Structure 1
Amino acid sequence: MADIVSVYMNTPPVARTVATAVFLCSVGVYTGMLSIEPFIFHYLMLYKFPPDIYRLVTSFLVTSPNLGVLFDTYFIFTYLSQLETVSKFQKKEDLIWYLMFVTTIIVPLNALFTEGYLLLQALLIALCYTATQDQRGQNAHFYIITIPAQLMPYCMLLVQLLFPNGWANIKIGLTGLVAAHLHDFLSRIYPEFGNGPNLIPTPGFISWIMTTPRIRNTVYGQSSAPPTSGGRSGPLPDSWRSKGPGRRLG
């Protein structure tokens, strides 16, 4: 059991947190332990008082039913892990900003064109598209076939036709494709080929939150940094702490 916990805690933290939330919420909904109502999004719910702002997050936490609980959770974890460990998103704040950006695009697109109320499929396609952009020229395994890596998001869209409400899921997935492509254009394609700046840099307040004085970013998470020298730490005066190790009396 300790080994399982150790392996779990050593996985990339953002991918681990999101995938765990998706799995637990989906299991809770499909087993009847949780009501699906708080996970359903409709833009009219934002006009209530108070507005149901939490639905902007919870609508991305429920998978497809049955085997979708396992497969969707697996793909979410896989693609988020790839993004979290590649050079493009070495800083956790960059990945968090990416998630905020694409979900902010996905929500209004679905409100306008699909009326989708569970939006995880769109986020999954967005993650797949972004992760495979750095894998051009490589092959990937899609179930039992091997395809060029950059075709993965399109294959994931087409396979939705095999499931109930397939066309509706494809339309939802397309909004994720649009959001991911827009992020790629504004942050990479335009700066590289248009000789312009990154139009959607990570906001400073996210970097500030992620780089508090006692926290240090590492590859697989964060660790507490020791206090800097020069400032008093602890209840004892500096003159006491500078006299070497203490000795027990008696």
Structure 2
Amino acid sequence: MEVVQSWPPVTRVLVVATVVLSVLIHSHMISAQPWVFYADYVFQMPPKIPEIWRVLSAFCITGSGLGIILDAYFLYTYSSTLELHSPRFREHGSYFVYMAFLMGMITFSGGYLLGGAALMKALVVGLAYTFSQDNPDSNVTMFILTFPAKYLPYALLAISAVSGGYSSAFIELTGLVSAHLYDFLTRIWPTFGGGRNLVPTPSFVQNWFRPRGGTAEARSYGQFIRPSSQEPPTANTSGWNSGRGPGRRLGGEY
């Protein structure tokens, strides 16, 4: 539990929910039917209750068997790396907004339009795409192959096409498209198009992730809160503090 508590908050909640729900489903303790995405159930009208929780739970269902471990590991690796180290997420709560954007776009395109029921792998492909944009020249290892990180999301899609068929790969492709759209709206358009960031972090979300107490100090990567009676702690730019020293970037290995 101490190790889990040290994870950044968005990653922690998502990975724990994924492991718990997936274990319960694949051990046949509960049925998967109430948790996968079905648009007819999500948008059903009164007197029936819209089952809106499916929008979130569909991202917390892994493959069976070894997939429970591997899918959760991939999710943790790329999510925690981005949440802790990506220069994209300098504002408090900006990583939360990024994840909400990805999930919303994947739900619409991969779930509603293409009929995907379990959407976690599409989310992993989206996270891998953003990771590859941040670290294009670093090497990653997938099983026995080592290659530049810029090819990582395409390698994941190729594996999915071979193991799950092209229909699964098309659903997972929506994760890459969603992550690229986020990159365009928040970085490419403001930088090269002269526009503004079209996916800003609302002030109330920033307040959710802003540490309480202490004094704010400016840094080259953003801002962190220094407690008044302690040594300066390590904090990422979304406002999460592990209290475990300087930390380091996670490796790109699978």
TM-score, structure 2 length as denominator?
0.79
Q: Shift of the alpha carbon at 1:190? A: 1.0
Equivalent-residue separation in structure 1 for 2:127 and 2:182 (angstroms): 11
Select which of 6, 10, 16 maps to 2:12.
16
Select which of 36, 39, 45 maps to 1:40.
36
| 2:190 alignment counterpart | 191
Structure 1 or 2, whichever has the larger Rg, is 1
Superimposed CA distance per residue, residues 130-181 of structure 1 (whole angstroms, 9 cap, x where no aligned partner): 1111111222112111111011011001111332x32221011011111101
Aligned positions, number: 218
Equivalent-residue separation in structure 1 for 2:59 and 2:76 (angstroms): 14
Contact preservation (8 Å) 1:41, 1:56? yes
TM-score, structure 1 length as denominator?
0.80
| 1:146 alignment counterpart | 146
User: For structure 1, which runs of at least 5 residues remain unmatched after alignment?
Assistant: 224-250
Which moved further from structure 2: 6-15 or 168-177?
Answer: 6-15
Corresponding residue SS for 1:60 = helix
Q: Shift of the alpha carbon at 1:205? A: 2.2
Pairwise mapping of residues 25-174 of structure 1 onto structure 2 (< 5 A)? 25-45=21-41, 46-49=43-46, 50-86=49-85, 87-163=87-163, 165-174=164-173
Which moved further from structure 2: 104-113 or 133-142?
Answer: 104-113
Equivalent-residue separation in structure 2 for 1:116 and 1:30 (angstroms): 18
Pairwise mapping of residues 219-238 of structure 1 onto structure 2 (< 5 A)? 219=236, 221=240
Q: Shift of the alpha carbon at 1:212? A: 7.1
Corresponding residue SS for 1:128 = helix
Equivalent-residue separation in structure 2 for 1:28 and 1:14 (angstroms): 22
Going from structure 1 to structure 2, the CA distance change for 1:151 and 1:29 (only over 3 Å counts) comes to: same
Equivalent-residue separation in structure 2 for 1:16 and 1:63 (angstroms): 16
The structure with the largest helix share of the pair is 1
Q: Give the aligned residue type for 2:170.
A: K
Which moved further from structure 2: 8-17 or 116-125?
Answer: 8-17
* Stretches (4+) displaced over 6 A: none
User: For structure 2, which runs of at least 5 residues remain unmatched after alignment?
Assistant: 215-223, 226-234, 243-254
Contact preservation (8 Å) 1:26, 1:62? yes
Equivalent-residue separation in structure 2 for 1:92 and 1:62 (angstroms): 28
Which moved further from structure 2: 207-216 or 106-115?
Answer: 207-216
Equivalent-residue separation in structure 2 for 1:112 and 1:221 (angstroms): 34
Q: Shift of the alpha carbon at 1:214? A: 5.3
Contact preservation (8 Å) 2:136, 2:150? yes
Going from structure 1 to structure 2, the CA distance change for 1:203 and 1:20 (only over 3 Å counts) comes to: same
Corresponding residue SS for 2:34 = helix
Superimposed CA distance per residue, residues 12-61 of structure 1 (whole angstroms, 9 cap, x where no aligned partner): 23222211111111111000112212211121111233211111111111
| 1:239 alignment counterpart | none
> Identity of aligned pairs, percent?
34
Q: Shift of the alpha carbon at 1:197? A: 1.2
Q: Shift of the alpha carbon at 1:209? A: 2.7
Q: Give the aligned residue type for 2:116.
A: G
Equivalent-residue separation in structure 2 for 1:194 and 1:175 (angstroms): 24
Corresponding residue SS for 1:102 = helix
- Higher relative contact order (CA closer than 8 Å, sequence separation 6+): 2
Q: Shift of the alpha carbon at 1:110? A: 2.2
Contact preservation (8 Å) 2:102, 2:123? yes
Q: RMSD over aligned Cα, in angstroms?
A: 2.1
